[in-house]
């Protein structure tokens, strides 16, 4: 915590990281933010008590820079930072589909880069953040990254070759669950329930199932079988899901997300 950390391009995810670090005990004086709009910078300063600076100032004074801009804005940001960035700075990239090589080749030679894919549950301290080391990042750099992202959930290290897959599975993952909850809520309405009651039933079922998956150590097949009685209601529902190809559709959807992550990396 003696290090100074700057969050560049502080949108929702960037602000979630910032607030997580503050809750975790980081002094506001050790945290910096940058924002494209002055009114956004003023909002962050007022809300969190941190200093808002320019991207160049952040590069010059921060020990760790967390880049939370959109993938299409990353090249411009790196070009702005490069002339002002000492090589001993740790750069953490959170842009989907952007490989560490893309970042490294635009910054001074030898700059340590760590790639992170987190997700929106960072807003409620339940993120899953997947981290990969660039060619100059050490164990110490990975540990610093974990220290930051553990404040908003869990972290997992993977080889960078697996980042597109984890982006599809985890980075985009919450959206799939929201989509299923939306569909199941509509089904509840079709079956005669008011929307608010259908919503509450599905959300609590989702929370309970997730906690059981996390805490029981059981395989999801085993947990599903525990709910599936012979000739009962659940097996009839499962049959319809299989008949409509839901499993195959989910696999195809994740493949499409992975492919789009690869396209982002290639600049398509």
Collapse the DSSP code of 153 into the 3-class scheme (helix H, G, I; strand E, B; otherwise coil) and give the result.
strand
C-alpha distances in Å from residue 62, one per residue of 38, 86, 151, 258: 20, 10, 19, 33
Whether residue 267 has pLDDT greater than 70: no
Q: Rounded to an integer, what distance in angstroms lies between the CA atom of residue 48 and that of residue 241? A: 46
Tell me what pLDDT residue 60 has: 95
The answer, as to whether pTM is greater than 0.95, is: no
Kindly state the average pLDDT of the residues 101-129: 94
Alpha carbon separation from 89 to 62, 136, 141, 171 (Å, rounded): 8, 11, 10, 26
pLDDT score, position 1: 54
Q: Write down the pLDDT at residue 187.
A: 97
Give pLDDT, residue 264.
78
Does position 227 have pLDDT exceeding 60, yes or no? yes
User: pLDDT category, 262, cuts 50, 70, 90?
Assistant: confident
Q: What is the mean pLDDT of residues 103-119?
A: 96
- Least confident piece of the model among 7-11, 192-196, 250-254: 7-11
Residues with Cβ < 8 Å from 107, sequence gap 6 or more?
78, 81, 82, 85, 91, 113
Say if residue 247's pLDDT is above 60. Answer: yes
Token reading at 161: 């070759």
What local confidence, expressed as pLDDT, does residue 12 receive?
Answer: 87
Collapsing DSSP to helix, strand or coil, 27 comes out as coil
Place of tokens 């897959």: 165
Mean pLDDT on 16-31: 91
Q: Per residue in 146-200, pLDDT tens? A: 999 998 999 999 999 999 999 999 999 999 999 999 999 999 999 999 999 999 9
How do residues 60-77 score in pLDDT, each as one tens digit?
999 999 999 988 899 999
- Residue 91, beta-bridge partner list: 65, 113
Average pLDDT over residues 12-33: 91
* SS3 state of residue 246: helix
Answer yes or no: is pLDDT of 4 > 60.
Answer: yes
Distance CA 44, CA 8 (A): 12
Average pLDDT, the chain: 94
The pLDDT tens digits of the residues spanning 24-42 come to: 889 999 999 999 899 999 9
Q: According to the model, what pLDDT value does residue 268 have?
A: 52
Secondary structure class of 11 (helix, strand, coil): coil
């Amino acid at each position: 915590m003696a290090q100074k950390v700057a969050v560049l391009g502080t949108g929702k995810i960037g602000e979630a990281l910032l607030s997580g670090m503050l809750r975790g005990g980081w002094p506001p004086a050790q945290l910096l933010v940058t924002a494209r709009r002055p009114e956004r910078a003023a909002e962050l300063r007022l809300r969190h008590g941190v200093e808002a600076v320019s991207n160049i100032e952040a590069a010059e004074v921060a020990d760790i820079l967390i880049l939370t801009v959109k993938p299409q804005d990353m090249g411009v940001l790196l070009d702005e930072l490069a002339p002002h960035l000492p090589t001993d700075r740790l750069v953490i990239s959170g842009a989907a589909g952007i490989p560490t090589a893309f970042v490294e080749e635009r910054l001074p030679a030898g700059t340590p880069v760590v790639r992170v894919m987190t997700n929106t549950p960072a807003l409620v301290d339940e993120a899953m953040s997947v981290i990969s080391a660039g060619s100059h990042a050490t164990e110490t750099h990975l540990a610093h990254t974990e220290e930051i992202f553990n404040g908003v959930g869990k972290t997992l290290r993977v080889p960078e070759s697996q980042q597109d897959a984890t982006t599809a599975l985890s980075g985009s993952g919450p959206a799939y669950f929201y989509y299923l909850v939306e569909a199941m809520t509509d089904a509840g309405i079709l079956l005669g329930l008011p929307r608010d009651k259908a919503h509450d039933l599905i959300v609590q079922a989702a929370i309970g199932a997730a906690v059981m998956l996390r805490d029981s150590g059981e395989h999801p097949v085993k947990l599903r079988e525990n709910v599936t009685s012979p000739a009962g209601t659940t097996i009839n529902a499962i049959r319809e899901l299989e008949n409509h190809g839901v499993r195959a559709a989910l696999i195809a959807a994740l493949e499409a997300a992975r492919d789009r992550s690869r396209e982002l990396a290639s600049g398509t």
